[in-house]
Structure 1
Amino acid sequence: MTTTAGNKLETPVNSSSARLLSLFATPVAKIPCPFAEEINGNLSASVLHRMTTEVKDLSFKSETVGNLTEWADPEVDRLTAWVLGMARTFVETVRREPLHLAVGANSSTDVQVAALRSWASVYRSGNNHAAHFHPNTAISAIYYVASAGSCDLELTDPRTNVDVFDPGITFANEGQIVRVGCRPGDLLLLPGWMKHSVPPYDDTDVRISIAWNLAYTFSPDVALRPAGG
């Protein structure tokens, strides 16, 4: 292609030297649980049983009270241990370094991924959850236990200025919202600051999911590496 500047013809652009960069990608992992069929039935029954006595009824869904990790349920504990392992692998894969280096700690510091809060959600026909994020959370983990239909989750474009000016053409890839379709047995891992929402659920059966707010713990003490180390 050639361009003009006044009456002067500019040098053609050398297309072989041009590069189109797609920047600021957000890592999200979707992982099937290898033992989902062994636990999902009992997990569903356990969650629904808890809902009869310890339930927080919200206008858009029902939620268990307290932390799942305190239930002393062997299947919840097995699933939680697997989720923590997958979250660690997620961070180390994205960062391409061990977890202690990724968070800036010395090798003498034991760094673990831990669940700060955990709960189960039950959606019934007509329920939905508006866009939100999880404060003070490194990684949001969501596991789908049961659903008659797809367990969709909508992710909102985290670039805050993407909708400031839109003349009809957007450069936001697929758009400002990306819908991720999941099925029972799938785990989603995403940054805790990323806004996500649950679209209206329209099946007759319930949709059950479990969520964990994950963070990093340091033992015995935080020993940060020197700057640039």
Structure 2
Amino acid sequence: MPEFKSLFATPLYHARLSDFDPKVDTDELEASCYSIAEDDEAGQTWCEEQGYPGYTSYASLTDLPWRFPIFADVVKALDQHVAAFAEHCQLDLGDKQLQLEDLWINILPEGGSHSSHIHPHSVISGTTYVAMPDGASALKLEDPRLPMMMAAPTRVKNAREELKPFVYIAPAPGDVLLWESWLRHEVPMSMSEEDRISVSFNYKWE
């Protein structure tokens, strides 16, 4: 009988942020995201200049955990999630460790999207979800081998998940997703009339 093995796995970590302490109230986190967005004039200006739909603090605020206690709590929980993911991935960190590099707010309105991208210079990236109303976009993940498949036929429509060229993950508020930073991903156009709110982050190795 033939033997089949799945090689070169691409791991995705999916958990509840509250699986680790401190527990973070998503309603309070949502209110904080809106409050920060309203006061962040530099971030609003950057979004307008870049044609970014909605709001992101990515280019304006680099010290959210220092400014706002609830974000400090988010980071304390994320540190534990990232450590668990790194252990699962069997990363040999040597005498260095994974540390938060940056963390930012995303508020995506109806019709907003975030094009396909990676997070260079980081090791682990991820997002914790604050508000995911009906019609809000799932996270779209791309098979990293896709650019090398120039002459390959497409997969059948009902292919097993590990063989699909794209996988869509629909998280719930309070979920956290982690992946290795080289994994290409995007947020397709959101069809919800309400805002899709998330907090994204990168961890570096030093």
Deviation per residue, 1:135-189 (Å, 9 max, x gap): 1010002000112125510001101445301345568844211101101100000
The RMSD of aligned alpha carbons is 2.3
Deviation string for 1:47-72 (max 9, x for gaps)? 11111231242434420121253543
Sort the Cα spacing of 1:74 and 1:151 in 2 relative to 1 into closer, same or farther, 3 A. Answer: farther
The equivalent of 1:157 in structure 2 is 143
Aligned to 2:77: 82
Report the equivalent of 1:44: 30
Structure 1 or 2: more helix by fraction:
2
CA distance in 2, matches of 1:118, 1:66: 9
Q: Residues 68, 47 of structure 1: CA spacing in aligned structure 2 closer, same or farther, 3 A cutoff?
A: farther
Q: Tell me, which stretches of 5 or more residues in structure 2 are unaligned?
A: none
Counterpart contact for 2:24–2:74, Cα < 8 Å? no
1:32 equivalent to 2:16? Answer yes
Higher RCO structure, 1 or 2 (CA under 8 Å, sep 6+) = 2
8 Å CA contact 1:68–1:76 kept in 2: the answer is no
Amino acid at match of 2:109: R
Contact 1:138 1:191 in 2 (8 A): yes
SS of corresponding position for 2:192: coil
Q: Summarize deviations over 1:171-213 as a string: whole Å, max 9, x none.
A: 8844211101101100000001110000111111111100111
Q: Is 1:21 aligned with 2:21?
A: no
Q: TM-score, normalised by structure 1?
A: 0.75
Distance 2:154 2:106 in 1: 38
1:12 is aligned to none
Q: Please, which moves more after superposition, 47-56 or 65-74? A: 65-74
**Aligned pair 1:59/2:52, yes or no?**
yes
Q: Which amino acid aligns with 1:62?
A: Y
